[in-house]
Amino acid sequence: MVAILTRIFGVEHLSLAEDVVQEALAKALQTWPYHGLPQNPSAWIMRVARNLALDVVRREKVFRGKEPEIARLIEQSEPTPESAASLDQEIRDDRLRMMFVCCHPLLNGEAQVALALKILCGFSVGEISSAFLTNEAVIAKRLTRAKQKLQEARVPFEIPEGAALAERLEGVLKTLYLLFNEGYKASSGDTLVRKELCQEAIDLTALLAQHPAGNQPRTHALLALMLLNGARLASRVDGEGNLLRLQEQDRQQWDRSMIARGMFHLALSATGPDMTEYHIQAAIAACHGTAPDYASTDWRQIQLLYDRLMKFDRSPIVALNRAVAVAKVSGPRAGLDALPGWDRNELESYHLLHAVRGDFEEQLGNFTAAAAHFRKARDLAELKSEKTFLAKRLAACENPIR
């Protein structure tokens, strides 16, 4: 609804579109508890939002001439079978346009992601602040500035073409990637996995891949990565929400249809000459997703893929993941040798660095050193499930079975 109303009002009135939809949702909360849930809740909200929009159009001179378009939308609130397909396509196109608006190059990367989470995914300011590990005031100011920039620039509500498309598409893909990652492993809170975020990211990326503007190898590579990793979500935690390592996961719970879809899009991603980070990460996910059991995992291939990924992204996080693969191929000592020097600043406060070090030291029988690393990892971890998992590893090292 925000996307549809933004098309009608213009990007400069994005906040107004949000307010109209917010008011429609408030009316639902006020009405439904007393009159019961309507037969079609989505259509109810859509109809109320459109009526509110029509009131705004009639009241505000700046929207003079928009009344017929709003009226047409109101008539489609209860679409006939003949008009439903057309309306669905209209909504899909508006969501795509909104993706490209949120990821306009006028905005920096953090502002793009924050705006997309707010507009496309319905995140509250509090949820966005948790995802960015900052306070709500910072996020509120960031969102306000982002909207002001779009308003002042009178950014058109459209899917760009040519060079502008290539530039904006990269921002869209990065935003969708970060959205999926926040669902796959939440940055804070009590829940490790947020399936609804992963599904939203998959839906939006699939929508992008179906459109000529987004039907590109890198889009299919990102969609493959999401599907292959998303197929394992049900097995990542136990019944109490505790973290399960890959070797502990029940592969019977893996969604084989999602894996098949992921492999299909991975094949589509190979149709062009370019290789991206998404291609390599999807290939790594495919190695895990297609292995019949943990022992059959092709760690040599995974290490080679991480070697290639390092040429694209030399971030310490990628290097840390590569060290894990190195340890699987050549042993924990080789894994440790791949780690020195990464504890400067950016990774010293990263709990997974200390967790990985603790794991390597434990495998080598250095239980005192392992305990020190697990203790630091536990203290740095944000998620309750990770703290619980690391506390167990710490206890095992403090009282090892020799």
Residue spans per domain, the chain: 1-78
Query: Whole-angstrom Cα distance, residue 379 to residue 384?
Result: 11
- The backbone torsions φ and ψ at residue 167, rounded to the nearest 5 degrees and listed phi first, read -65, -45
pLDDT at 85: 53
DSSP tally for the chain: helices H, then strands E:
19, 0
CA dihedral 22, 23, 29, 30 (to 10 degrees): 170
Rg (CA), the chain: 24
- Give the largest Cα separation in the chain, rounded: 81
9 CB burial (10 A radius; 0-12, 13-18, 19+) = buried
pLDDT at 77: 47
Question: pTM for the full model?
Answer: 0.80
Query: Whole-angstrom Cα distance, residue 334 to residue 227?
Result: 32
pLDDT at 384: 84
> What are 345-385's pLDDT values in tens digits?
556 777 888 999 999 999 999 999 999 999 999 999 888 88
Low-confidence ranges of the chain (pLDDT < 70): 61-67, 69-90, 130-133, 187-190, 340-347, 402
